[in-house]
Chains A and B, each alone.
Chain A
Amino acid sequence: MAVTRILTTGTAPNRGENARRNWYRFSRNPLSIIGLTMVILILILAVAAPIIAPHPPSAGKFLNFSMASRAPSAENWCGTDVFGRDILTRVLYGFRFSLMMVVVVLSLVVPVGVFFGLLAGYYRSTWIDTGIMRITDIFVSIPPLVLALAICAVLTPGVFNAMVAVSLMWWPWYTRMVYGVASSLRGEFFVQAAELTGAGKWHILFKEILPNCLSSILTKMSLDAGWVILIGASLSFVGLGAQAPTPDLGSMVAEGSKYLPDQWWISVFPAFGIMLVVLAFNLLGDGIRDMFGTERG
């Protein structure tokens, strides 16, 4: 009984103390707060798009040529495109798309990349290390966009394949980062202590080494979110990502670019949307990096 009481009373203050210290480090830079606010706002906008968008049908197959290519006005804040679709609506739905891409890509890439990184780092200088790290070298040596373009071109263009392509080119970076941390930690005394007392390999990989990589992983994830969106938009821009009529920010910029500079709003507002999302995630990422302190890069 007494023991349980200790458990409940002892936990709270220390966790609170940690959280407060982390928040202090994070909030020291006002830009981090701006980034966090922007990310939260964009998340709300994306989730609530069907409710708050001024003209939800514009997000799908919709034609209304009587409304085509209208400049921004009180009715259509960001104007309409050549099919008469409301651009603000399509940008809001475009956020959904970009964020979904981030979630899918990172949830594929991070577990795979981290797992191989831990394995290669812990078994440094063995064939496991050589095998895994040489494979990552192959991926890393090809310029990322070129690799993604090649993969998308081989597969049929589409959102799913774009995500596959981006994931394939991304995981080696997590492997390399975690490899660096894991291979320096495996000689530490706390790892030796666990080994010498007889703890299993999985315990050492996931309980001893992984928690020490989490701050680097989290920082990289938040900085990468912006890049994933940018790469996804680039693929869509060249026609290898999302296909019409999907409201994707990259393909909207591509379509609108044909009507520049006269009907500038068709491409400028989606482009502005991309900028906002990427900026938001980068500011947030910088804040998280400051919060964990030691990482620079």
Chain B
Amino acid sequence: MSILSLMDVKKFFPTAQGVVRAVDGVSFDIGKGETLGLVGESGSGKSTVAYTVIGSHAPTSGSISFEGEDIGLQASKRPLSIKKRLQIVFQDPGTSLNSARTIRQTLEVPLKVHGNGMSRQQRLERVVGLLDLIQLPPAYMHKTPGMLSGGEKQMVGIARALATGPSFVILDEPTSALDVSVQAKIITMLMDFQRRFELSYLFITHDLSLMRNVASRVAIMYLGKLCEVAGTSEFFRNPLHPYTQLLLSSIPVLSDEEERLKPGQVISRGEIPSPVNIPSGCSFHLRCHRKMEICEHKDPEMVDTDQGHRVRCHLYP
């Protein structure tokens, strides 16, 4: 039973240079308690997917359904009950908290909106509870974000998302702005919360190696389209799409043992093209090491190989 499902979602932005096809027909489902890792380079449209799902803007076309309700069309007109169950953690903890307000004031906002007339005392106790959840002492409620470290700020961002008791949380590169040591702590915490509160995650990241430990399924995105979707173990054991192979082979490794896990050396050529001017045919053909004649003029369809492994490439009929 899927909690979130996207059907052929498109999001185009008109600009002076032309239409940016940020998200160009993305479909996926996320089951209850599952983590879908959505991986892509900068400019691949992965964050646009996140902001379309959370409702910062409506999709150009396609449908999004959340717990059976259609949330596709009206961005700002969603009912409060949806906003309560669907929350987001932003990428940059520096700008996602209001530096002029205390942590308590920040954490109280969702409680005031969704608390159904919680008393001042109840809200205060809930704020203390939330701080306890993210392992910060209660006195932190009086601090402003300027007094907190980057990791602490991000934990407050997570606490704010959990304040309403959501069932689904979008994590938009929650650790990419943080030190590696802090990253590990935050990831552990997120995994713990997922178990305790039966959360489903859409985990947006450019860090493929992180997904190995975090995601139940991984989706690779390139220029607004999905290339490959598979269960995590299948994905790392048997990567099918040439782009996936390229990404996996570019992960820096420490030892020869790790090196042997990689799917052969694929040299990365070029950079991701502008989403205003998408190459003809398969949008990846300019960088592909297994390019064929057909790739230049025909865009491949998404096909199922086996066990829910889906790939969009002419190599796999």
B109–A203 touching, CB < 8 Å: yes
Tell me whether B110 is interfacial, beta carbon within 8 Å. Answer: yes
Q: Are A192 and B113 neighbours in the complex by a CB distance under 8 Å?
A: no
Stretch from B83-91, B242-250, B270-278 at the A interface: B83-91
Whole-angstrom distance between the alpha carbons of A212 and B98 in the complex? 8
**Could you jot down 23 A-B contacts, CB within 8 Å?**
A3-B125, A7-B124, A10-B138, A10-B141, A14-B143, A189-B91, A190-B95, A190-B98, A192-B90, A193-B88, A193-B157, A195-B76, A196-B54, A196-B87, A197-B83, A197-B110, A198-B80, A198-B114, A199-B113, A203-B109, A207-B101, A211-B101, A212-B100
Chain A, residues 1-29, CB within 8 Å of chain B (1/0): the string is: 00100110111001100000000000000
Which of these, A11, A196, A211, contacts B88 with CB under 8 Å? A196
Is residue B180 within 8 Å, beta carbon to beta carbon, of the partner chain?
no
Of chain A, the residue at the smallest CB distance from B100 is A211
Question: A3-B125, A188-B95 provided; 12 other pairs, C-beta below 8 A?
Answer: A3-B128, A6-B128, A9-B139, A189-B91, A192-B56, A192-B90, A193-B157, A193-B160, A197-B110, A198-B80, A199-B112, A203-B109
Q: Which residues of A contact B (CB under 8 A)?
A: 3, 6-7, 9-11, 14-15, 188-190, 192-199, 203, 207-208, 211-212, 214
The distance from the CB of B96 to the nearest CB of chain A, in whole angstroms, is: 4
Q: Are A208 and B101 neighbours in the complex by a CB distance under 8 Å?
A: yes
Main secondary structure of the interface of B (DSSP, over half): helix
A114 to B300, CA, bound (A): 55
Instruction: Choose one: B56, B83, B95; the contact of A198 (CB below 8 Å).
Output: B83
A192 CA / B87 CA spacing, docked (Å): 12
Partner of A190, one of B76, B97, B164: B97
Tell which of A6, A11, A190 touches B96, judged by Cβ atoms closer than 8 Å.
A190
A197 touches B124 (CB 8 A): no
Greatest chain A CB density within 10 A among B54, B96, B124, B142 is at B142
Using a Cβ–Cβ cut-off of 8 Å, how many residues does chain B contribute to the interface with A? 39
B307 at the interface (CB under 8 A from A): no
A14 in contact with B142 given A3-B128, A198-B114, A203-B109 (CB within 8 Å): yes
Which residues 18-74 in B have Cβ within 8 Å of A in the complex?
54-56
A188 to B56, CA, bound (A): 12
Q: What are the residues of chain A within 8 A of B92 when measuring CB–CB?
A: 189
Residues of chain A contacted by B87 (CB below 8 angstroms): 196-197
Contact A196 B128 (CB under 8 A): no
Q: How far is the CB of B45 from chain A (nearest CB, A)?
A: 18
| A10–B100 CB distance below 8 A | no
Contacts of A198 in B (CB 8 A): 80, 83-84, 113-114
Interface membership of B147, Cβ < 8 A: yes
- A50 vs chain B, min Cβ distance (A): 41
Closest to B172 in A: A189
